[in-house]
Chains A and B, each alone.
Chain A
Amino acid sequence: MRTRSLPGNIAVYATVGAVLITLLFPIYWMVITALSPSNQLRSFPPRFWPENPQFNVFSDILAAQPFGLWMVNTLLIALATLILSLTVSILAAYALSRHNLRGGESVGLFILLAKMLPATLLIIPLFAIFKSMGLVGNIWSVVIAQATMIVPFATWMLKGYFDTLPHELEQAALVDGCSPLGIIFRVILPISAPGLAATALYCFVISWSDYLFARTFLSTSESTWTLSMGIASMKGEFTTSWNVIMAASLMASVPIILVFLVLERFLVGGLSAGAEK
Chain B
Amino acid sequence: MASVTFQNVKKSYGSFEAIKDLSLEINDGEFCVFVGPSGCGKSTALKMLAGLEATSGGTIMIGGKDVTELGPGKRDIAMVFQNYALYPHMSVHDNIGFGLKMRGAPRAEIDRKVADAARMLELTPYLSRKPRALSGGQRQRVALGRAIVREPSAFLMDEPLSNLDAKLRVQTRSEIVKLQHRLGVTTIYVTHDQIEALTMADKIVVMRSGEIQQVGTPQDLFDTPRNMFVAGFIGSPGMNFFTGVVTVENGQAYTSFAGKPVALPDAAVRCANRTVVFGIRPEHIEVLAGESAIRMPLTLVESLGTEKILHLQTPESHRLQSSEMDFGTEDQRDAQTMLIRVIDDNRYATGQVIGLKFPQDKIHVFDGGMRL
Contact = CB atoms under 8 A, between A and B. Distances in A.
Interface of A: 166, 168-169, 171-178, 182, 187, 190-191
Interface in B48-63: 50-52
21 contacts: A166-B85, A168-B83, A169-B85, A169-B87, A171-B50, A171-B81, A171-B85, A174-B51, A174-B72, A175-B51, A175-B78, A175-B99, A176-B98, A176-B99, A176-B146, A177-B72, A177-B102, A177-B103, A178-B73, A178-B102, A191-B87
A174 B85 contact: no
B172 to A, nearest CB: 19
Given A166-B85, A171-B72, A173-B98, 14 more contacts: A171-B50, A172-B81, A174-B51, A174-B73, A175-B50, A175-B51, A175-B52, A175-B79, A177-B72, A177-B74, A177-B99, A178-B98, A182-B102, A191-B88
B77 interface: yes
Contacts of B78: 175
A interface majority secondary structure: helix
Contacts of A171: 50, 52, 72, 79, 81, 85
A148 to B, nearest CB: 32
A166 B81 CA distance: 12
Contacts, number: 56
Given A177-B73, A177-B99, A172 B85 contact: yes
B100 to A, nearest CB: 9
A168 B71 contact: no
A185 to B, nearest CB: 12
Residue of A169, A171, A172, A173 ringed by the most chain B CB atoms within 10 A: A172
B89 interface: yes
Interface string B59-101: 0000000000001111001110111011111000000001100
A178 B102 CA distance: 6
A171 B79 CA distance: 9
Contacts of A169: 85, 87
B137 to A, nearest CB: 18
Contact of A168 (B73, B81, B146): B81
A178 B74 CA distance: 10
Contacts of B89: 190-191
A175 B76 CA distance: 8
Contacts of A173: 87, 98
A171 B84 CA distance: 11
A224 B24 CA distance: 70
Contacts of A182: 102
Contact of B73 (A176, A187, A190): A176
B301 to A, nearest CB: 45
A176 B89 CA distance: 16
A191 B85 CA distance: 13
A101 to B, nearest CB: 16
Contacts of B86: 172
Given A177-B73, A187-B87, A191-B89, A172 B79 contact: yes
A98 B311 CA distance: 51
A190 to B, nearest CB: 4
A168 B85 CA distance: 6
Nearest to B87: A187
B52 to A, nearest CB: 5
B102 A176 contact: yes
Contacts of B146: 172, 176
A186 to B, nearest CB: 8
Interface string B132-161: 000000000000001000000000000000
A172 B103 CA distance: 14
A174 B102 CA distance: 10
B71 A174 contact: yes
Residue of A172, A173, A175, A177 ringed by the most chain B CB atoms within 10 A: A175
B346 to A, nearest CB: 51
B157 to A, nearest CB: 12
A187 B87 CA distance: 7
Contacts of A174: 51-52, 71-73
A177 to B, nearest CB: 3
A171 B81 CA distance: 9
B73 A166 contact: no
A221 to B, nearest CB: 45
B367 to A, nearest CB: 44
B83 A166 contact: yes
A189 to B, nearest CB: 10
Instruction: In the A-B complex, list the 9 residue pairs whose CB atoms are closest, starting with the nearest.
Output: A177-B73, A176-B99, A168-B85, A177-B102, A172-B85, A190-B89, A174-B72, A175-B72, A175-B79
